[in-house]
Structure 1
Amino acid sequence: MSIVHETLDHAASASIARFTHGLSPAAVMGAWFDWATHISAAPGKQLQLAEKAVDKARRYAQFATKCATATDKTEPCIEPLPQDSRFSGEAWQSPPFNLIYQGFLLQQQWWHNVVTGVPGVSAAHERQLQFLMRQLLDTVSPSNFLPTNPEIQRQTLADGGQNLVRGAQILAKDLQAMIADAPPEGTEDYQPGRDVAITKGKVVYRNRLIELIQYAPLTENVRPEPILIVPAWIMKYYILDLSPENSLVKYLVGQGYTVFMISWKNPDADDRDLTMGDYRELGVMASLDAIKAIVPDQKIHATGYCLGGTLLSIAAAAIAREEDDPFASLSLLASQVDFTEPGELQLFINESQLSFLDSVMWKQGYLDTTQMAGAFQMLRSNDLIWSRVTQSYLKGEEPFMNDLMAWNADGTRMPYAMHSEYLRKLYLNNDLAEGRFKVEGRPVSLTDIRAPIFAVGTVKDHVAPWPSAFKIRALTDTDVTFALTSGGHNAGIVSRVGHPRRSFQVGTMSKMDRHVDPQSWEAATDKQDGSWWEAWVAWLDGHSGAVTKPPAMGAPKAGYTAITDAPGTYVFQK
């Protein structure tokens, strides 16, 4: 295809994307066509759906009759899913609201039956239809509307309608902020360098893609092996250096470790051609060179978070085939190296969707933060969209803001070439786990990694589901210690010591234990209260030497001088 023809295709798709929020209409229509074709030729499934509809109508009629005649509380005819707390309040248990929400749940269950279990429909299309149906049903949930929400009605009566006035004011502010492309209200209280990302340190190296921060010691002596942290380029690094009580960096420094952190540049249209190889070379490899100069003759505890862990694994495997291993250990926090089960993100990963996304990025040169945020919000629409509508616009409550939420609003872009490459090679084709991912023209193998691994999964992770993160134990030829912590992809990792509602499980698997499945491991591993941070530091201590004096800040003779104070300059890029 000529450049002219390709340009026309990209321009057309990019124009459509403005109205579809980046979702490919062809991908959606393909799923519906697959379903419609097969259900039309499945009289048994049609009969089953009719029977289920009659059965649900019967159950609902019996429930309504009991509600009309019983003097005591009537047991519901259907229970919400465990994660669904929309109708848990006492006000929902009285007529007519119990009839309203029970009818909604019965319909929700029936529509789930409609799009699942149809003979011949592909598993990928079935997952897409489940997701789309859930989005549609969430929009009409009775909890979203004043006439059908008893809790909002009670508050409206108690407040004399002022909650709706406040809600309208909040909505007006949100619309104004959206038009002005301004950050959510409250983020101004969590500014990097002032409120968050305030652990003392220096930027000791900078290139066109990263700033490398070396943190100042907080203890008289330190472990000889430094820690390099590789965060995901999809996020600002300071999720690991939030306010002091929530800072993993400060905790590590306080435990006697010399910590280095990569701070990624926020790419723009000029960076459209940056590749995965550039991120590996200018990010991980350049940082390793700097650390070797600043802390010579020492192995390194390398740590990767999310996609940073994936990139670190690629770099470690490539290094292992060429030279002596520079790593004392590898720690992978909520990271995946096998992408066959990437959770609900796989709903957005297919050839049609990626081609459509390529066109969006082709026009801009990058994927914008708002486009990524919309996809993640849809994965948890109840928690992130409709609960906000209820709390803010109906109850009139100002949205709560904390350091983690403020960080989440401070997104980064992703360059066209790199983002397209990692989505296709990792998510779509699973090249890394299957031995096809090439570095400098040759495939890398995770089995070449010899450093011990500490891997962390989080129970409620929608981005890197913990059973997927657990697969590292079967893809490497080294001892793997796996920790499963309560919380989600972000809050589970930012699990400060002393948090009152945190627990974790941890266990080490030797090379002989590679075939244990995640559910069996979970059932056989004791749960402990507290933060996994403490277990990780104990593990790091066990793979570290005796304490010594802290290294100097930078290595001027080798060209690594203190450029500026932490948090540097890249973190402020918008």
Structure 2
Amino acid sequence: MPDTTSGPTPRLPDPTALQEAWKDIAERSQRLLQDFAEKQAKEGPTSAPADVLNLTGTFLDFTAKLMADPQKVVAAQMELMQQYMRLWQATADRMMGKPSEPVIDSPRDKRFADPAWRDEAIFDYVKQSYLLTSRWLMGLSKEVDGLGEHERKKIDFHMRQFVDAMAPTNFVATNPQVLRATVESGGENLVKGLRNVLEDLERGKGRLAIRQTDMKAFEVGRNVATAPGKVVFQNAMMQLLQFSPTTDEVYERPLLIVPPWINKFYILDLKPENSFIRWATAQGYTVFVISWVNPDEKLAEKTFEDYMIEGPLAALDAIEKTTGVRKVSAIGYCIGGTLMAATLAWMAARNDDRIAACTFFTAQVDFTEAGELTVFIDEEQISNIEAMAKQRGYMDGTEMATTFNLLRANDLIWSFVVNNYLMGKDPFPFDLLYWNSDATRLPAAMHSYYLRNMYQKNLLVQPGGITLCNVPIDLRKVAVPCYIQAGKEDHIAPLRSVYKLTQVFSGPVRFMLAGSGHIAGVVNPPAAKKYQHWLNDTPRNPPTFEAWMAGATEHKGSWWNDWDKWLAPLSGPKVPARDPAKGGLPALEDAPGSYVKVRIVD
């Protein structure tokens, strides 16, 4: 038990306030149960598999193979027991006042930052016990013969989810910070935490939608996604935004940004000070951005091909009509970059040269080293995901968001469980996490095609492996100048996977490695003076990332200025700035448009 004598005086809760709180909790719980029962009665029995990820089969097979060699099991258990004996001895020595070194430690683990985990023998023992057991569990798959590489990665990934979930920081009785808060507040933190649980269940309509930020602190178009502009074109799949110029002259060739449709475009326009869209506009680019629709069951049959036709190709037509300019430069972000690579190959096959240069933000085309997301890609899992998506007509965006959150579960799930539910606090207002929670749906047909043909079969990088609009495409035919950005710590599009793109295109390619990950590696304005980036000015990118990195030079701060120096000479001469309200297409509404404001969870 932590020492609370030096802190605020413990107090008992107000009986009247506590009675009112429990009354509110009981009423809200009853409503949730009633809503759940009505929903079940309305929807009837579901055909969706109960175990979508096939974890039962995977771990049953793992256990069978583990038990097939009992000697290894006994040896592993004996090793763990010996480590526990050392821990018990070290803890006993410490409690008797003798000097004692930790058996295992994790000084950089933010979960154990509270001094009690180090200073108090009981909590130090709990921490070390957890770390020992975690390390032992995470090493089990290496002791099993007969596991395939994919199966081993899948077991390791989900074993880590279990290990993270069972951390002592996630429970009241074994978290000294929570215990202190409980004593000091007379238990009000736990009552408030229970209210937060109910609020998140209500927001998620029966599904626990954990708040990562204060959802009421932000509003699209009010204090995020505020760059001025107009919607100049729209169809069933997207709205095309043209942003207002901030310079008297602009480059002749407009800039088209194709963001991912897994997320919303305003990651590039959160606040004025970190808005890539505002910054690019200030450099003299006429910026157009695709704002994808948040699809429902009506768009269930939309395909990857439809995203190309009604996305960048439709945007190119609209840009020419409104500006009178045929050639543009383009940016593809994440899956938007995957789409742009496919689109460039399709255009090359048809001798369509409307894209003069293309930039790729954390985009993959060769999925052989696609990272931890591949643990979800096997026949049983894809079939189960397809069954769920087909039943609804779309892949629910909240499920995709949960998948991405699992890649960093301690930061994006369990830290908020502790803060919101155990400490009883409200999450801090953070625009990035507001965007992260603003999930989008994915049409069933497109999602299935993407998983099978890209992640599972890796057909995009194979010449003729993909056919779009009856045209077999070959990425090697793409000869336009390209700028490729990867994130050093990207857990969604790993840097080695992104680097493979340098070996595919036939034209000049400039590769740049940015510090940080999938988001901060991209959204890093020069004024922030954060992180760093690496460049290698060799005329031809070597076959491997390791060889490229060996000749790379580190530069402090943002890479945006380097990208500007690369793109400016490819963007044509300067011309008078273009007012989006006075172009060849009528302005339909103000930016950021209506498509981006459609939310799944409020």
Instruction: Give TM-score, length-normalised by structure 2.
Output: 0.86
The separation in 1 between residues aligned to 2:56 and 2:312, in whole angstroms, is: 41
Question: Contact between 1:231 and 1:304, CA under 8 Å: does it hold in 2?
Answer: yes
1:341 and 2:369 are equivalent in the alignment: yes
Distance, in Å, in 2 between the alignment partners of 1:280 and 1:396 is 46
Q: 1:533 matched to which residue of 2? A: 560
Q: Deviations over 1:269-311 (max 9, x none)?
A: 1111111111100101111122233344553211011100000
Q: 1:470 to 1:81 in 2, by over 3 A?
A: farther
CA contact (8 A) 1:104 1:142 kept: yes
**How far apart are 1:55 and its partner, in Å?**
3.5
2:519 equivalent to 1:484: no
Q: Deviations over 1:520-571 (max 9, x none)?
A: 43354233322222222222224333322224537866xx322222112212
Partner AA of 1:347 in structure 2:
V
What does residue 505 of structure 1 align with?
A: 534
Residue among 388, 391, 395 paired with 2:416:
388
Name the aligned partner's letter for residue 65 of structure 2.
H
In structure 2, the partner of 1:564 is 589
Contact 1:224 1:298 in 2 (8 A): no
Counterpart residue number, 1:514? 542
Which residue in 1 is equivalent to 2:258?
A: 230
Stretch of structure 1 that moved more, 443-452 or 151-160:
151-160
Tell me the equivalent position of 2:4: none
How many Å apart are 1:249 and its aligned residue?
Answer: 0.5
1:435-474 mapped onto 2 (5 Å cutoff): 435=463, 436-474=465-503
Task: Report how far residue 16 of structure 1 moved.
Answer: 4.2
14 and 332 in structure 1: CA distance in 2 versus 1, 3 angstrom threshold:
farther
CA contact (8 A) 1:253 1:259 kept: yes
Structure 1 pair 340–546 and aligned structure 2 pair: CA distance change class (3 A): same
* Number of residue pairs matched by the alignment: 553
CA shift in 2, pair 1:523/1:103, >3 Å: farther
Q: CA deviation at 1:420?
A: 0.7
Change (3 A) 1:118 1:442: farther
Structure 1 residue 183, shift from structure 2 partner: 9.5
CA distance in structure 2 between the aligned counterparts of 1:394 and 1:98, rounded to whole angstroms = 20
Aligned ranges 1:185-224 → 2 under 5 Å = 186-224=214-252
| Cα distance, 1:291–1:81 mapped onto 2, change above 3 Å | farther
- Given candidates 136, 152, 163, the residue that maps to 1:110 is 136
Task: Identify the residue that residue 449 of structure 2 maps to in structure 1.
Answer: 421
Secondary structure of the residue that 2:230 maps to in structure 1?
strand
Q: Indicate conservation of the 8 Å contact 1:183/1:409, yes or no.
A: no
Whether contact under 8 Å (1:211, 1:263) holds in the other structure is: yes
1:364-412 per-position Cα deviation (integer Å, ceiling 9, x unaligned): 1111122222222222221122111111222232101222222222221
**How far is the alpha carbon of 1:159 from its aligned partner?**
4.2
Partners of 1:12 and 1:446 in 2: CA distance? 47
Is the partner of 1:212 in helix, strand or coil? strand
Higher mean C-alpha displacement, 381-390 vs 433-442: 433-442
Cα displacement (A) at 1:14: 4.9
Measured in 2, the distance between the counterparts of 1:250 and 1:35 equals: 52
Matching residue of 1:99: 125
Q: 1:471 to 1:508 in 2, by over 3 A?
A: farther
Distance 1:554 1:207, change over 3 A: farther
- The one-letter code matched in structure 2 to 1:521 is W
- 1:302 is matched with which residue? 330
- 2:241–2:289 Cα contact (<8 Å) kept: yes
Rounded to whole Å, the distance in 2 between the matches of 1:76 and 1:227 is: 56
Q: Could you say if the C-alpha distance between residues 117 and 523 of structure 1 is closer, same or farther in structure 2, counting changes exceeding 3 Å?
A: farther
Inter-partner Cα distance in structure 1 for 2:169 and 2:145: 34
Match of 1:7 in 2: none
Residues in 2 aligned to 1:460 and 1:66: alpha-carbon distance in whole angstroms: 41
Q: Which amino acid aligns with 2:105?
A: E
- Structure-2 residue corresponding to 1:495: 524
8 Å Cα contact 1:294/1:554 also seen in 2: no
**Distance 1:127-1:180 versus aligned 2 partners, 3 A rule:** closer
Unaligned 5+ segments in structure 2 are 1-42
| Residue type at the aligned position of 2:455 | Y
Q: Secondary structure at the match of 2:249?
A: coil
- Please state how far the C-alpha of 1:354 moved relative to its aligned partner: 0.8
Amino acid at match of 1:292: E
One-letter amino acid of the counterpart of residue 439, structure 1: L
Partner SS state of residue 86, structure 1: helix
SS in 2 for 1:531: coil
SS of corresponding position for 1:266: coil
- Separation in 2 of the partners of 1:562 and 1:77? 67
Asked if 2 retains the 8 angstrom alpha-carbon contact of 1:483 and 1:505, the reply is yes
CA deviations over 1:455-506 (Å, ceiling 9, x no partner): 1122332211122111111222233222222333223322233325432223
Q: Distance in 2 between matches of 1:320 and 1:209?
A: 24
Corresponding position of 2:18: none
Q: Secondary structure at the match of 1:301?
A: strand
Q: Which runs of 5+ in 1 are unaligned?
A: 1-10
**1:330–1:453 Cα contact (<8 Å) kept:** yes
Structure 2 CA distance, aligned partners of 1:92 and 1:570? 48
| Aligned match of 1:6 | none
Segment drifting more, 451-460 vs 51-60: 51-60
Instruction: Tell me the equivalent position of 1:163.
Output: 189
Between stretches 416-425 and 89-98, larger displacement belongs to 89-98
Opposite residue 446 of structure 1, the aligned amino acid is: L
Contact 1:332 1:455 in 2 (8 A): yes
Question: Of the candidates 359, 369, 381, which is equivalent to residue 397 of structure 2?
Answer: 369
What is the deviation of 1:47? 5.0
Are positions 1:397 and 2:422 aligned together? Answer: no
Alpha-carbon distance between aligned partners in 2 of 1:238 and 1:263, rounded to the nearest angstrom: 9
User: Cα offset for 1:425?
Assistant: 0.6
Please give the alpha-carbon distance, in whole angstroms, between the structure 1 residues aligned to 2:220 and 2:175: 40
1:308 and 1:335 in contact (8 A); partners too: yes
1:546 matched residue in structure 2: 573
SS at match of 2:528: coil
- Residue aligning to 1:86: 111
Instruction: Please tell me whether the aligned partners of residues 214 and 426 of structure 2 are also in contact (alpha carbons under 8 angstroms).
Output: no
Please identify, of 452-461 and 93-102, the stretch whose mean Cα deviation from structure 2 is larger.
452-461
Q: After superposing the two structures, state which structure 1 stretch, 135-144 or 157-166, moved more.
A: 157-166
Task: Report whether the alignment pairs 1:140 with 2:140.
Answer: no
* Residue in structure 1 matched with residue 102 of structure 2 by the alignment: 76
Question: What letter corresponds to residue 562 of structure 1 in structure 2?
Answer: A
Q: How far apart, CA to CA, are the structure 2 residues paired with 1:493 and 1:552? A: 28
SS at match of 1:330: strand
User: Which of residues 130, 137, 146 in structure 1 aligns to 2:156?
Assistant: 130
SS of 1:493's partner is: coil
Q: Distance in 2 between matches of 1:393 and 1:552?
A: 49
Moved more, 348-357 or 197-206: 197-206
* Correspondence for 1:5: none
How far did residue 51 of structure 1 move? 4.4
Cα distance in structure 1, aligned partners of 2:292 and 2:286: 20
For the pair 1:293 / 2:331, whether they are aligned, the reply is no
1:276/1:39 CA distance change after superposition, 3 Å: same
CA contact (8 A) 2:349 2:471 kept: no
